[in-house]
Chain A
């Protein structure tokens, strides 16, 4: 269970996120409200949004990240998915938590797993069993 300090820190991050809508009234009486429209904006379309200056750092590539890139590309090469579905839906239009919250290639591999299940190339139960098997395999080493 999280300690008090951890809870306070989490609350602080959440409250930084929530009032991102800097408007006095954020309840909606009409479906066509500009607020609803803003909430429907796809999270990956970020050009022109405000942000603070940042340190632009490089990242050394993890082995699983390169493997993920190659797996996603080879799935495209062999016609299992195409660039359009990857860009618009699979990798990007995921909702704010998924899009902003997890690593770049984390999104890629989750998208690939979800696609394989959605298209019935593999069963969800099969994926779950495989994940357990891989975990067990490396836990023994």
Chain B
């Protein structure tokens, strides 16, 4: 579990960790807990496989589709703002998956926060890392850090500026603190220069960061760029 982290190594891309054969303590514990739980009949290997399949199927593309559709279809937008979980079904996202009652930690309660030219929303979870997983996938690591959670609620303008989003003083910033029982997502303002675009074209500029509220969509911006900390054994890599 040794980390190559040294304080102050700045924003440099972390080099890929050297390939290591030895198994880490967390890997050992993860295998031990999973195997014991299955041996004791607490859940089945099939339960684990099914949930993994669902977890690997979610991602921010669903949120992008929702925003793009809301931009071109005012009636859909009204439905989104009224009952977002219900409206998600129209873009193929059922919050009841994969168990029939949602995931055990994502309550089926989503509120979509509509931005205006003078009001900007941004989401955080100060107590843990609540995030609208069925619609945006797994949260980014920075969203889970104490740093983001500490500062955003108090110095939102400064934190957003560090993400490269400098908002003029006349724009009010509203920080929404997610919690166990309610998840939030930002519906940004449709940017100028996207008139006559198709939903697919629009969805491309609605990146994950735009739906968290740390970036604004604009023509030509189709990816969120952050330094990447590489995994030792990333998802999909085999040990054997």
Contacts and interface: CB of A to CB of B under 8 A. Distances in A.
Interface string A55-80: 11111111111111111111111101
Given A51-B147, A61-B138, A63-B237, A69 B55 contact: yes
Contacts of A69: 55, 138
Range, interface on chain A: 35 or more
B99 interface: yes
Interface string B222-240: 0000111111111111011
Contact of B177 (A47, A66, A122): A47
Which of the listed residues A54, A104, A113, A126 has the most CB atoms from chain B within 10 Å of its own CB? A54
Contacts of A122: 36, 40
A104 B26 CA distance: 11
A77 B150 contact: no
Contacts of A131: 28-29, 32
Interface stretch (B42-50, B74-82, B187-195, B199-207): B42-50
Contacts, number: 211
Interface in B128-147: 128-129, 138, 140-142, 144-147
A68 B33 CA distance: 9
B19 interface: no
Interface string A103-133: 1111001101100100001100011001101
A56 B51 contact: no
Given A44-B127, A53-B162, A138 B233 contact: no
A63 B31 CA distance: 11
A41 interface: no
Interface in B31-83: 31-37, 40, 42-43, 47-48, 51-52, 55-56
Contact of A92 (B21, B128, B145, B229): B128
Contacts of A130: 32, 35-36
B2 interface: no
A21 interface: no
A50 interface: yes
Contacts of B236: 63
B196 interface: no
A58 B231 contact: no
29 contacts: A47-B126, A47-B153, A49-B146, A49-B151, A50-B151, A51-B146, A54-B148, A56-B148, A57-B141, A58-B140, A58-B141, A62-B231, A62-B233, A64-B233, A70-B52, A74-B51, A75-B42, A78-B47, A80-B43, A83-B107, A84-B180, A87-B105, A92-B128, A109-B29, A112-B33, A116-B33, A131-B28, A134-B31, A139-B23
